[in-house]
Amino acid sequence: MERNKPMLKVRNVSVAYGHITALNKINLDVFQGEIIVLIGANGAGKTSLMETVLGAHVPENGEIEFKGKTIQGISTDKNVRQGLFLVPEGRGVFSTMSVLDNLLLGAHHNRRKTPEKLELVFDYFPILSERQTQIAGTLSGGERRMLALARALMSSPDMILVDEPSLGLAPLVVNDIFKILTRLNREGYSILLSEQNIHKALKIAHRGYVLETGRIVKSGTAENLLNDPAVKEAYLGV
């Protein structure tokens, strides 16, 4: 896998909600085929960064490039069409709609080969195949997270932004989710992952960035970050 082609370039990006600065001069790179992990406490700006990359917030200044094209200020739906997809934190799925409807929503813009994509998704997540007609709101937390990931695949993305996938899930389910993320990455998807479960995330990631109150305070290879005394103390509780 070629891993020097830049997929996402974030340069000096700042975002404010009213008077509150959410992101302060963020610089970040994701190369093709990489898993990059964003480390940070609640409110550090992980979700803001992901939503800004997707186009949900317009940065005050700075530049975002995706696949070589400038994308800041471009609407979310256009970015989705270009191959970016966010797996949001929390509920993440439309709970009044069926599993199949949720999946098809992922393919809203990219309808080609929908049956093939469904087959692919059901290969990753066999449980969803059995539950196609079930209402998403009746799925377990882990199943919903799987559905949100599966919905991302339906859009045929080049890069998936995954926001806190392990939040509130049982350890066994978390293991499954991380296995799937690793498999997705091996098959060529670039992944930007935000996680509080840092140990597990750094184990599967290539590199990572540490966010604190909207700034990047540290970055490096996953191995270096895992062995960094400050990271260990602040985020691993060692």
CB 209 within 8 A of CB 219: yes
**Binding flags for other proteins, 17-56, as an x/- string (CB under 8 A):** ----------------------------------x--x-x
For CA atoms 186, 34, 51, 109, the dihedral sign is negative
> Given the structure tokens 């290539």, which residue do they identify?
206
Among 3, 5, 91, 199, binds other proteins (CB under 8 A): 91
Q: Which of these segments, 29-37, 91-99, 122-130, 209-217, binds other proteins (CB under 8 A)?
A: 91-99
Q: Which of 66, 52, 157, 55 is nearest to 107 (CA)?
A: 157
Q: Is 111 in the site for other proteins (CB under 8 A)?
A: yes
CA 134 to chain centre: 25
**Contacting range for other proteins; rule: CB under 8 A; set: 32-40, 89-97, 198-206, 230-238:** 89-97
Question: Which residues have a Cβ under 8 Å from the Cβ of 76 and sit 6 or more positions away?
Answer: 54, 55, 56
- Name which position in 33, 106, 165, 208 contacts other proteins (CB under 8 A): 106
Which residues are bridge partners to 225 per DSSP? none
Q: Of 165 and 208, which has the nearer Cβ to other proteins? A: 165
Q: How many residues bind other proteins (CB under 8 A)?
A: 27
CA-nearest of 14, 74, 55, 78 to 161 is 55
User: H-helix or E-strand containing 106?
Assistant: helix 99-106
Q: Which is nearer to other proteins, 94 or 124 (CB)?
A: 94
Residue 167 engages other proteins in binding (rule: CB under 8 A): no
Question: Which residues sit at the interface with other proteins, rule CB under 8 A?
Answer: 51, 54, 56, 75-77, 79-81, 85-86, 88, 91-92, 94-97, 101, 104-106, 108-109, 111, 151, 155
